[in-house]
């Protein structure tokens, strides 16, 4: 049976598990205001900045675009403040899982499929999301967490997916990645993974050539059986 080949589902977080990117944008702006900066990222600004993976990297890119020396900008402090603002917004219940995600996870567990995270965001943000939408710690929800700060290069480099596979002890041909962005797709494919893409709020219209399947919502996949068919 093709289901026997599927041993792991590896989820991106922002835009995939939940439509969190808008919360991130709001949190960045709160951190900037608290620091006395007149920076305010619009949705169009943030869509462009998302082409750079990693929050600290986005702050660095933006400060350079403003003609500032990034070395003189307190990037780490701003990012810590942004993370705190994001966690606070998340705790207010400002986000929900995307359609189909809960069902895929439930069916996966029932079938003995392991669940993992491969993300450029911080473990603190993953923890906040899990507490908000599952009411549990991330380690109680996912078998493996692989985060961007643990690898040398963030998406679209494959490093974080390779780390997730190593921690799972699963070969790439027995796992499926779930993503919302071109950068995430490139990272998954670079690690040898089949990747299913459902574009998010900020990623519609990107080039998803190479996706095993492209769907409007993950609920369109036909559950774990549909994902297993991707590997058949």
The set of catalytic residues is 12, 14
Q: Answer whether 117's CB lies under 8 Å from 8's CB.
A: no
Tokens 């990747």 belong to residue = 195
Q: Answer whether 30's CB lies under 8 Å from 85's CB.
A: yes
Phi-psi region of 132 (alpha: psi -120 to 50; beta: other; left: phi over 0): alpha
> What values do phi and psi take at 138, rounded to 5?
-60, -35
> What values do phi and psi take at 97, rounded to 5?
-65, 150
DSSP, collapsed to helix, strand or coil, labels residue 155 as coil
39-59: string of b/e by CB count within 10 Å (b at 16+)? bebeeebbbbbbebbbbbbbb
Q: Answer whether 176's CB lies under 8 Å from 167's CB.
A: no
> Torsion angle, CA of 66/68/74/75, rounded to 10 degrees?
50
CA distance to 85, 140, 185, 186, 212, per residue, from 179 (Å): 25, 22, 6, 10, 11
């Amino acid at each position: 049976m093709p289901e026997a080949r599927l041993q792991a589902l590896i989820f991106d977080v922002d835009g995939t598990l939940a439509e969190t990117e808008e919360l991130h944008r709001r949190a960045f702006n709160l951190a900037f205001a608290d620091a006395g900066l007149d920076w305010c990222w619009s949705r169009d600004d943030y869509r462009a900045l998302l082409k750079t993976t990693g929050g600290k990297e986005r702050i660095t890119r933006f400060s350079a675009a403003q003609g500032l020396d990034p070395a003189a900008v307190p990037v780490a402090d701003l990012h810590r403040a942004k993370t705190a603002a994001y966690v606070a917004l998340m705790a207010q219940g400002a986000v929900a899982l995307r359609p189909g995600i809960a069902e895929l996870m439930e069916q996966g567990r029932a079938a003995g499929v392991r669940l993992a995270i491969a993300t450029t965001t911080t473990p603190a943000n993953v923890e906040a999301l899990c507490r908000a939408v599952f009411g549990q710690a991330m380690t109680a929800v996912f078998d493996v967490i692989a985060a961007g700060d643990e690898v040398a290069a963030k998406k679209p480099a494959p490093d974080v997916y390779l780390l997730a596979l190593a921690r799972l002890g699963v070969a790439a041909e027995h796992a499926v990645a779930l993503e919302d962005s071109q950068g995430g797709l490139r990272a998954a494919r670079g690690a040898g993974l089949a990747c299913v893409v459902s574009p998010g709020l900020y990623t519609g219209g990107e080039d998803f050539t190479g996706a095993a399947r492209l769907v409007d919502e993950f609920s369109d996949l036909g559950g774990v059986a549909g994902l297993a068919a991707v590997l058949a």
